[in-house]
Amino acid sequence: MSVDEWNLEALTEIAQCPLTRESVTIASEESIRRLNDRIGEGRARDAGGNWVQQPVEMGLVSTDGCYLYPILQGVAVMLPSLAIILDETRTKDPVVLRPEANEVKEFYEEFGWKKDGGGEDYVDATGWEDLRPVSREYIRKCHRRLGTHFPKTGTYFLDVASGAVQYPEYVEYSEGFSYRVCVDLSFRALVEARKKLGHRGIFICGDISNLPLRSGVMDTAMSLHTIYHMPVDQQALAMNEIHRVLRVGQAAVIVYSWGHHSKLMRLPNAGVRAIERIRNLPRAAGARLRRLLSPNPSVAAAGMGTIYTRYQGYDWFSSQQWPFKYELYSWRSVSPTFLKTYVHRWSLGGQFLELLYALESQYPRFLGQYGQYAMIQLRKS
């Protein structure tokens, strides 16, 4: 699939250089030729301090002429550390991705967005979601519940940390929009997302704590199960960035997990932990052996399903001085681990989940505050 000129024009309308905050334009053929001459001579560096090895076919240039961002397979690579320096006289100290963010990025590049066993589901889903038949309808209804909080039509629908847009319901959210703007740390994820969205997608490899987007350009936005995978000092920053890029009067939805801070889940989670400790004794022994034998420790860790996570509770969230007003709703009041431990066909699990969904719909604010996953709807006034 070739890069659509229509999408490039739309991209330049909304994107900005994350280093200089300048707008961007499509790089001319002449500027690309000059840059590739420098690359061939070993004289081109990126903002991370590394020498650029691969020639560039297409890219975006900041209007001040400082940086170029390559476009590869229809994905604009706009991570600050990978910006190619055009003006050496205006460069600063090397820009590096924080170790925590790099851990998440490497996990998904190497592991999370691969298909599990060659099937249709990604490892990300099979590892952390409950895909069993007994829970399938409940999970699907929770996905659709989120869609009721977005406008039906618009120009730009922003998907912050979009991943591979892995569920059909996720694709449905933006059907009435001209473009779905997918921003993610993982290049692999965006290539997968492009297969699903095609010419209706705009794909940017970027840092969500420093969105490479102009202020006030998005008609709506969402971020699902991502911000709690960031360092604590960047979580509020990411939420504020989502607010920054919204148009005035528009709303965004963030799905956030309170994790172990969820008051509703404390008692059942204690039981889950006890059961898991017993179940995991053979698995833990195998994991220790894999770590000893694996030449790549990060891959060994990935095999255990680990990823950087820092849950904050409702008390933390409500204590922040947000620049926006917000409402809390329940996305889902129980965790996948709870479902897999307590909900089964033989124990009337399907009926229990029907009742649970009804309660979440009847008391969305209470269960949004005290349950496992909250939908945080923020609005820009």
Give 170-207 pLDDT, tens digit per residue: 999 999 999 999 999 999 999 999 999 988 999 999 99
pLDDT band at 295 (very low <50, low <70, confident <90, very high): very low
Residue 233, number of CB atoms within 10 A of its CB: 10
Residue 25 clears pLDDT 80, i.e. is over it? yes
pLDDT for the residue 285: 55
Residue 166 clears pLDDT 70, i.e. is over it? yes
Q: Show Cβ contacts of residue 45 under 8 Å, excluding neighbours closer than 6 positions.
A: 51, 52, 84, 85, 88
CA dist 291 and 276 (Å) reads: 20
The DSSP symbol for 133 reads H
pLDDT, mean of residues 115-143: 81
DSSP 252-269: EEEEEE-GGG-TTTHHHH
Residue where the block lists tokens 């990604």: 122
Beta bridge partners of 67: 85
The DSSP symbol for 218 reads B
pLDDT for the residue 110: 72
pLDDT, mean of residues 145-167: 94
Residue where the block lists tokens 């505050």: 369
- CA neighbor of 357 nearest in space, from 148, 134, 150, 139: 139
Residue 273 clears pLDDT 50, i.e. is over it? yes
CA dist 235 and 241 (Å) reads: 10
pLDDT, mean of residues 317-343: 94
Helix or strand or coil: residue 145? helix
Q: What is the pTM of this model?
A: 0.88
- CA neighbor of 338 nearest in space, from 237, 281, 257, 217: 257
User: What are 95's two structure tokens?
Assistant: 């820009």
Q: Is 184:162 a contact under the CB 8 Å cutoff? A: yes
- pLDDT averaged over every residue in the chain: 87
pLDDT for the residue 102: 78
Helix or strand or coil: residue 247? coil
Sign of the C-alpha dihedral, residues 171, 172, 175, 179?
negative
Sign of the C-alpha dihedral, residues 156, 251, 98, 291?
negative
User: What are 241's two structure tokens?
Assistant: 């960035």
CA dist 103 and 91 (Å) reads: 26
pLDDT, mean of residues 358-372: 97
Tell me which of 71-80, 107-116, 242-251, 286-295 is least confident.
Answer: 286-295
pLDDT, mean of residues 55-82: 95
CA dist 335 and 259 (Å) reads: 9
| pLDDT tens digit sequence for 224-249 | 999 999 999 999 999 999 999 999 99
Q: Report the CATH superfamily, name and number, of domain 103-261+307-379.
A: Vaccinia Virus protein VP39 (3.40.50.150)
pLDDT for the residue 282: 64
| pLDDT tens digit sequence for 101-116 | 877 777 777 766 677 6
Residue 1 clears pLDDT 60, i.e. is over it? no
Beta bridge partners of 330: 374
pLDDT for the residue 304: 39
Residue where the block lists tokens 């069993």: 132
DSSP 82-114: GPEES-GGG--SPP---HHHHHHHHHIIIIITS
User: What are 44's two structure tokens?
Assistant: 């081109």
Q: Is 224:194 a contact under the CB 8 Å cutoff? A: no
- The residue ranges of DSSP E strands in the chain, in sequence order, are 24-26, 59-62, 67-72, 75-77, 84-85, 154-160, 177-184, 201-205, 220-224, 251-257, 325-332, 373-379
Domain residue spans in the chain?
5-90, 103-261+307-379, 266-303
Beta bridge partners of 23: 16
| pLDDT tens digit sequence for 52-62 | 999 999 999 99
pLDDT band at 89 (very low <50, low <70, confident <90, very high): confident
Q: Is 108:161 a contact under the CB 8 Å cutoff? A: no
CA dihedral 132, 298, 190, 150 (to 10 degrees): 50
